[in-house]
Amino acid sequence: MENAKEIIDLLSPLSKKDARMIADAFDFSKKIHDGQKRFSGEPYFNHLYETAKILAELRMSPITVTAGLLHDSLEDANVKEEKIEELFGEEILFLVKGVTKLGKIKYRGVERHNESLRKLFVAVSQDIRVIIIKLADRLHNMKTLQHVPQHKQERIAKETLEIYIPVAYRLGIRKLSRSLEDVSFSFVYPKEYEQTKKILKEKRKEDSGKLEKFQKSIRKGLAKNGVTNFNLDYRVKTLYSLYRKLLRKDWDVEKIYDISALRIILSDVDECYKVLGIIHGIWRPLPGRIKDYIAFPKPNGYQALHTTIFTGYGNVLEVQIKTKKMHQEAEYGVASHIYYKESKKTKIGSNLLWIKRLLPFKKPFDKSSKEKEINYDDIPSWIKELVEYQTLDKNKRALEEDLKEDFFQQRIFVFTPKGDVTDLPIDSTPIDFAYAIHSEIGNRISGVKVNRKMVAINSQLKNGDIVEIITSKSSRPSQKWFEYAKTTTAKKHIKSALQEQKK
């Protein structure tokens, strides 16, 4: 049986007040979701508990973990916003509302616009903690996806692969993106999943003995050169990232050198370069495979030295050399920076809120660490871009203006009242929207509401509009519709409907 103590222990040391808050949220959430069931038949509260646990394992702040326990309270338990604010405060309400809003959008679009959808996802969430709660929520949903009706499984898994995982990856939270990859892949590409699994299994059988022997040689080699203070482990590529690499390499597994990689974790940067030197002195490196991500970090902030060497056991192996801090950040990414001091002074709705969450922060109980300087280099550049958009907004401009031209120059994003998002070319009309949903809806348009107001069917849609198409059986497309339509899909359908009518 789950209990609040398990979550509190994961976060310890915790102040009495914070522990109390988590225990209260635990009890409250359990009460409001009482009687509700998941598709699996389990009590609904399990989902809140597991989501909060994932957040606690990521070492998120007590406020974020508490919001995790409450994240479905508005939507699924019909709790009033005022109630959450009264019991848990403004900041937690802000986070819960953010997660609720983010959950209403379904990311269905043309594949080539996935990048824009990812940016939309990030832009809508306003606060990095909202994204992390949503990712934890999704991880637990994916882990229980087999219980969800089959017709929904594929859409959810695909959305996870194409939107959630890249966002987690770009935020550098490998711990989350890897777990999400493991569970999504089999649902979206079952055949390829099996195929990749088979390849990995064979390859690992072939390599495992060699890997063990090589680990011993490395230990010996480093000790002989005076390096004894290090951690050695190895990681295996996730099936999904192996699959993506196989696609790029024509399914030739022999061309992939980093299926398993050995990790050497050291205490400082100087040692990393020293160890690289020692290794190259003993084992021959493969040319062109030496990467200095310490001097040149990856766009998501990843740092390490990588090299691929001939082990002497008839195989090649990737070796990753990094400091403990780099390793920590590779696993937790942005999440490792946002355990910030939660003070009453935090102004909700301030546009700087977002960037504040990204700033490196001294952990309150870690007395040994010195106050860090704000290091903007730690922040992935595409997030900085978004931050700039967010901070541009001085007067709470509408979302559509926030999402400036750059990203959305060619396309607009329009929502159904249920939150499905459709992307359309600029200047599209409700006619285009209706046909983008379904030709039968297009053919039966009798009226249109945009943002709950009736408008003409040839009005221009804007980014962020919520469009409701009213249909009637007696409606028929006309030549006028053809002229109003902007997309080829709509034009095509209207044309064939007109021809049909002539007959």
Q: Which sequence positions are flagged as catalytic?
A: 75-76
Whole-number Å distance between alpha carbons of 81 and 63: 17
Shortest approach of Mn ion to residue 148 CB, angstroms? 13
Binding flag, residue 258, Mn ion (CB under 5 A): no
Cβ proximity to Mn ion: between 102 and 128 the closer is 102
Shortest approach of Mn ion to residue 36 CB, angstroms? 12
> Taking the CB of residue 354, how many other CB atoms lie within 10 A of it?
22
Cα atoms in the Cβ-side hemisphere of radius 13 Å centred on 321: 25
Binding flag, residue 50, Mn ion (CB under 5 A): no
Q: Residue 38 in contact with residue 47, Cβ under 8 Å?
A: yes
Interface segment toward Mn ion; rule CB under 5 A; list 112-120, 129-137, 435-443, 479-487? 129-137
Cβ proximity to Mn ion: between 72 and 207 the closer is 72
Q: Give the amino acid at 496.
A: S
Whole-number Å distance between alpha carbons of 390 and 397: 10
List, in order, residues 6 or more apart from 117 with CB less than 8 Å away: 107, 109, 162, 163, 413, 421, 423
Cβ proximity to Mn ion: between 39 and 251 the closer is 39
Cβ proximity to Mn ion: between 49 and 433 the closer is 49
Tell me the residue length of the chain. Answer: 503
Instruction: Using CB under 5 A, pick the residue from 72, 159, 207, 258 that binds Mn ion.
Output: 72
Residues 303-322 as x/- pattern, contact with Mn ion by CB under 5 A? --------------------
Shortest approach of Mn ion to residue 59 CB, angstroms? 21
Cβ proximity to Mn ion: between 69 and 358 the closer is 69
Shortest approach of Mn ion to residue 175 CB, angstroms? 19
Two tokens, residue 349: 């709705």
Interface segment toward Mn ion; rule CB under 5 A; list 137-145, 195-203, 266-274, 479-487? 137-145
Interface segment toward Mn ion; rule CB under 5 A; list 72-80, 195-203, 225-233, 350-358? 72-80
Cβ proximity to Mn ion: between 71 and 306 the closer is 71
Element containing residue 310 per DSSP (H, E): strand 305-310
Shortest approach of Mn ion to residue 188 CB, angstroms? 21
Binding flag, residue 137, Mn ion (CB under 5 A): yes
Whole-number Å distance between alpha carbons of 84 and 440: 42
List residues bridging with 308 in a β-sheet: 318
Cβ proximity to Mn ion: between 146 and 350 the closer is 146
Instruction: Name the 3-class secondary structure at 102.
Output: helix
Two tokens, residue 468: 């409701």
Q: Count residues contacting Mn ion (CB under 5 A)?
A: 2
Shortest approach of Mn ion to residue 356 CB, angstroms? 25
List residues bridging with 448 in a β-sheet: 455, 469
In angstroms and rounded to an integer, the radius of gyration of the C-alpha atoms of the chain is 26
Whole-number Å distance between alpha carbons of 43 and 101: 24
Instruction: Name the 3-class secondary structure at 415.
Output: strand
Phi, psi of 449 (to 5 degrees): -115, 130
List residues bridging with 415 in a β-sheet: 421, 466
Q: Give the amino acid at 23.
A: A
Interface segment toward Mn ion; rule CB under 5 A; list 69-77, 288-296, 448-456, 482-490? 69-77
Sheet holding 420-425, edge to edge: 106-107, 420-425, 411-415
What b/e sequence results for 230-258 when a residue is b if at least 16 CB atoms lie within 10 Å of its CB, and e otherwise?
A: beeebeebbbbbbbebbeeeeeebeebbb
Shortest approach of Mn ion to residue 275 CB, angstroms? 44
Shortest approach of Mn ion to residue 187 CB, angstroms? 18
Residues 147-176 that bind Mn ion (CB under 5 A): none
Cβ proximity to Mn ion: between 116 and 141 the closer is 141
Shortest approach of Mn ion to residue 67 CB, angstroms? 12
Instruction: Name the 3-class secondary structure at 263.
Output: strand
Cβ proximity to Mn ion: between 132 and 436 the closer is 132
Interface segment toward Mn ion; rule CB under 5 A; list 77-85, 136-144, 232-240, 329-337? 136-144
Cβ proximity to Mn ion: between 94 and 214 the closer is 94
Element containing residue 319 per DSSP (H, E): strand 316-323
DSSP letters spanning 122-176 = HHHH-SHHHHHHHHHHHHHHHHTGGGS-HHHHHHHHHHIIIIIHHHHHHTT-HHH
Shortest approach of Mn ion to residue 124 CB, angstroms? 16
Cα atoms in the Cβ-side hemisphere of radius 13 Å centred on 5: 1
Regarding beta strands 106-107 and 420-425, do their DSSP bridges make them parallel or antiparallel, or are they unpaired? parallel
- Residues near Mn ion (CB under 5 A) are 72, 137
